[in-house]
Amino acid sequence: MKLLGILLTSALAALAAANDTFLIRDADVYPVTAKEMKGVCVLIRDGKIAEIAPKIVPPKGMKVVEGKGLRVYPGMIDSDTNLGLQEIESVRESVDTGELGEFMPQLRALVAVNPASEHFGVVRVNGITSAMTFPNGGGGGGRGGGRGQSIAGQAALIHTDGMTWEEMEISRSAAVQLTFPSVGGGGRRGGGGGGLPDEIAAEFGGAAGGANARRNVDEAIAKINDFFDDARRYKAAKAANPPGFVTDLKFEAMIPVLDGKVPLAVSAGQAEAIHDAIAFADKQHVRIVIMGPREIGKVGPELKSHNIPVILGRVLALPEHPDDAYEAAMMLPEEFYKAGVKFAFGTFTNEFVRNLPFQAAAAVAFGLPQDEALKAVTINPAEIWGVSDKVGSVEKGKWADLLITNGDPLEIQTKIEHVYIKGMEVDLSNKQTRLYDKYISRQ
């Protein structure tokens, strides 16, 4: 009996001393999904939030983080990046996006993620603990993507820290990326003049303005519909289990989409393209998330009635059209909020991921309620990508993806004191801080 007591005591002590088991004491907690709680304790056990209460007595030997005067927030989520897939855009060998093939839903971004990417350290220091990484250079059909590619593969939701991609995984197939056809023309962001000439736009897989533009878009949409119809026939044939049935990896990857288990991340910037995407989703009976809308037009009620969320791009951006108001991009989040459309923020690149909280803050300056801005980088993306049971808020039972700060994390002057991912404290040093340390000493 005495030996059993010794072993039990040793086991409890080992648990208390584990790196992912500790107590945050006397901090102000901002759960996001509920009102803030002043001067409470947060118990983290085995990487998960075990208890939140006014007073918790820690077991002997447990690490205690003093939180008096500090705040606890959930880690932030960027809903559109290339993190882990693209290091230096101009160096092709460091870019692993945009594979060849028009319809490639079987490709998984997760398995190509490089955990040693220098970008991860830079974004963690600003409180971004999770990110969607897309196989075609961003959900908006962005840089590095394969030319003319319609379905690029499966986007992954990952933590921004880990030794391997397996450790970083939150959801290996959070969405299938679809670049939706749209009519080009009109001014481009920043007021750079008219649309691209037909022959140039065709080289980039887009439809230029003119009499043939709508026809080209309709033909492209019909081609996508044909692929979905073929996938549905494959699914029916597989269910029948005929002799000699041959597995097709492309159509296998489409079955979760057809079943409504995995959404399509559909790039659609203009109101007309958003309307077309909604009509496509209705026809194919699939779930969609609109990526990178640059205007709301008259589709706000349509998005709301269909319960379709959107991922907004950078708020600190130039106007889309030459005759737009200068603050058009900055007011867009408020317009979607007033329309009752659920939204989250994405940066659509790697270089601006660290500025995610400041993008949300800029939207607040132009009318978006502050609590909605915080939700748009925490619980909203967690709900949109189907992982709100794991991350996105400070709640019992969720992973301890937490920030401890001395103020509002959306404010640029706020210092992030600690970052935790699954209860493990993350080193906030990175390439930029190392360079700072190196050159500040040269006096």
Q: What is the pLDDT of residue 35?
A: 95
The token pair at 71 is 């705040």
Lowest-confidence segment of 202-211, 234-243, 311-320, 343-352 by average pLDDT: 202-211
In tens, the pLDDT along 132-142 reads 999 986 444 33
Cβ atoms of 142 and 98 closer than 8 Å = no
The token pair at 143 is 């840089």
Strands 71-74 and 402-405: antiparallel
Q: Above pLDDT 90, what percent of the chain?
A: 71
Encoded amino acid at 428, one letter: L
**Cα 443 to Cα 301: distance, rounded to the nearest angstrom:** 60
Q: What is the pLDDT of residue 443?
A: 66
240: CB partners within 8 A, 6+ apart: none
**Cα 426 to Cα 401: distance, rounded to the nearest angstrom:** 10
Three-state SS at 292: coil
Question: Which segments of 262-301 are extended strands (E)?
Answer: 264-267, 288-291
Q: What is the pLDDT of residue 418?
A: 97
pTM of the model: 0.88
- For the segment 339-350, the average pLDDT, to the nearest whole number, is 95
Q: What is the pLDDT of residue 364?
A: 97
Residues in the chain: 443
Q: Is the pLDDT at 211 greater than 60, yes or no?
A: no
Asked whether the CA dihedral 386, 392, 395, 398 is positive or negative, the reply is positive
**Cα 400 to Cα 40: distance, rounded to the nearest angstrom:** 16
The token pair at 245 is 């049935």
Q: Which residues of 23-40 are buried (b: 16+ CB within 10 A; e: fewer)?
A: bbbbbbbbbbeeeebeeb
**Cα 266 to Cα 55: distance, rounded to the nearest angstrom:** 47
Where is pLDDT greater, at 297 or 77?
77
**Cα 174 to Cα 154: distance, rounded to the nearest angstrom:** 7
Q: What is the pLDDT of residue 196?
A: 41
Q: What is the pLDDT of residue 214?
A: 79
Q: What is the pLDDT of residue 321?
A: 81
**Cα 88 to Cα 82: distance, rounded to the nearest angstrom:** 11
If pLDDT is split at 50, 70 and 90, which confidence band does 441 have?
A: confident
**Cα 358 to Cα 381: distance, rounded to the nearest angstrom:** 17
If pLDDT is split at 50, 70 and 90, which confidence band does 98 have?
A: confident
- For the segment 348-363, the average pLDDT, to the nearest whole number, is 94
If pLDDT is split at 50, 70 and 90, which confidence band does 111 have?
A: very high
Q: Above pLDDT 70, what percent of the chain?
A: 87
What is the pLDDT of the chain when averaged over all its residues?
Answer: 88
Q: What is the pLDDT of residue 136?
A: 85
**Cα 186 to Cα 292: distance, rounded to the nearest angstrom:** 17
Cβ atoms of 293 and 264 closer than 8 Å = no
If pLDDT is split at 50, 70 and 90, which confidence band does 193 have?
A: very low
Q: What is the pLDDT of residue 95?
A: 86
Question: Within 10 Å of residue 142's Cβ, how many Cβ atoms?
Answer: 23
**Cα 104 to Cα 116: distance, rounded to the nearest angstrom:** 26
Q: Is the pLDDT at 147 greater than 70, yes or no?
A: no
**Helix or strand (DSSP H, E) at 23:** strand 22-29
- For the segment 28-46, the average pLDDT, to the nearest whole number, is 97
**Helix or strand (DSSP H, E) at 167:** helix 165-168
Q: What is the pLDDT of residue 202?
A: 44
Q: What is the pLDDT of residue 190?
A: 36
Q: What is the pLDDT of residue 96?
A: 86
**Cα 255 to Cα 235: distance, rounded to the nearest angstrom:** 7
Q: What is the pLDDT of residue 148?
A: 65
Q: Looking up tokens 């203009």, which residue turns up?
A: 270
Selection from 163, 110, 118, 115 nearest residue 135 by Cα: 110
**Cα 440 to Cα 442: distance, rounded to the nearest angstrom:** 5
**Cα 208 to Cα 206: distance, rounded to the nearest angstrom:** 6
If pLDDT is split at 50, 70 and 90, which confidence band does 8 have?
A: very low
Bridge partners of residue 24, in order along the sequence: 42, 65
Selection from 196, 194, 93, 103 nearest residue 152 by Cα: 103
Domains defined along the chain, listed by start? 14-74+392-443 (2.30.40.10), 76-391 (3.20.20.140)
If pLDDT is split at 50, 70 and 90, which confidence band does 18 have?
A: low
- For the segment 244-254, the average pLDDT, to the nearest whole number, is 94
- For the segment 415-428, the average pLDDT, to the nearest whole number, is 96
Q: Is the pLDDT at 262 greater than 80, yes or no?
A: yes
Q: What is the pLDDT of residue 137?
A: 60
- For the segment 243-262, the average pLDDT, to the nearest whole number, is 95
Distances 129 to 68, 123, 222, 357, 420 between C-alpha atoms, Å: 23, 8, 39, 12, 8
Q: Is the pLDDT at 1 greater than 80, yes or no?
A: no
The token pair at 345 is 């923020």
Q: Is the pLDDT at 42 greater than 60, yes or no?
A: yes
DSSP 427: P
